[in-house]
Amino acid sequence: MASYTRSGRPRPQSSGFELAVWYLMRLSGLALFVLALGHFSITHFIFDPATQTAQWIIDERWGSVLWRTVDWLLLTMVVLHAFMGVRTVVQDYTTGGARTLLTMLLYLAGIALFLMGTIAVMTLPFPVK
Amino acid sequence: MLAWAFHRISGVAIWAFVLLHVLDIWLVGANRGLYDEVLKFYASPVGRVGETFLGAALLYHALNGLRIIVMDFWPAMTVFHKQLWYASWVVFVVVGLPGAYIILRPIWAGAS
């Protein structure tokens, strides 16, 4: 297992992909501090889950391009952060072929989920006024 | 070590929920009736307890993640890693308890 410091994964000493991922986790983490906590607050504190029917999402939450854009940004950040985070977990506990296989499956699942979410937020019809 | 373990467990839990959540939002366009059925579970007492744990995982991961970022980009703060850890728990309780109350209240208020 990789060694961990008082904070998180130590900054990779080499440049390149691993260093880029290290920065990506921190930058997307900062974005998610606002986007994810904001999203949870809207869906649980400002509105109650019981009221958020499909019709309500069509009419209210996704009735504006701005909110769809905010939710798509959240999707982008969360897919990057969550899948690269689980990639670190996979790399901590596996080696060799299993590591390669699981990492590739993870990337495929991440791309698939990103496409599904993007299609969902972009193709839902706007309410007829 | 405990901070790291909680961060990892909460992170994997949130990842699992994100998988589920993209699928359920997919249903809004693909199968509206089924989405509303899933929503009934989210609004049920069991669903609300689950969302309270999800919110706790999210809040802990966010606060501890902020602590990591602070120490990574301002190494002098690493000296205070324990104080930052305690501070994150203070915020966790101050924000989390009212939050849990708001999510769980409909169970006994009978609104759902």
- Taking only the tens place, the pLDDT of each residue in A78-125 is 999 999 999 999 999 999 999 999 999 999 999 999 999 999 999 998
Estimate the crossing angle of helix A65-93 against helix B2-30, to 10 degrees. Answer: 130
Q: What is the CATH number of the domain that holds B100?
A: 1.20.1300
* Structure token digits, residue A93: 């506990």
Per the structure, how many domains does chain B have?
A: 1
Q: What is the pTM of this model?
A: 0.93
pLDDT, mean of residues B62-89: 94
How close does chain A come to B5, measured CA to CA in Å? Answer: 11
Say whether B22 and A75 touch across the interface (CB within 8 A).
Answer: yes
Query: Is residue A1's pLDDT more than 50?
Result: no
**Fold exhibited by the domain A17-46+63-123:** 3 helical TM bundles of succinate and fumarate reductases (1.20.1300)
Say whether B18 and A7 touch across the interface (CB within 8 A).
Answer: no
Residue B1 pLDDT: 83
Place of tokens 């698939």: A112
- Taking only the tens place, the pLDDT of each residue in A30-43 is 999 999 999 999 99
How close does chain A come to B21, measured CA to CA in Å? Answer: 9
Q: What percent of chain A has pLDDT over 90?
A: 84
The whole domain housing B101 covers: 2-109
Say whether B68 and A8 touch across the interface (CB within 8 A).
Answer: yes
User: Which DSSP symbol is given to A45?
Assistant: I
The answer to whether A110 touches A79, Cβ cutoff 8 Å, is yes
Judging contacts by C-beta atoms under 8 Å, the chain B residues touching residue A86 are 11-12, 15
Residue A104 pLDDT: 97
Rounded distance between C-alpha atoms, residue A47 and residue B4, angstroms: 33
- Taking only the tens place, the pLDDT of each residue in B82-112 is 999 999 999 999 999 999 999 999 999 875 4
How close does chain B come to A114, measured CA to CA in Å? Answer: 9
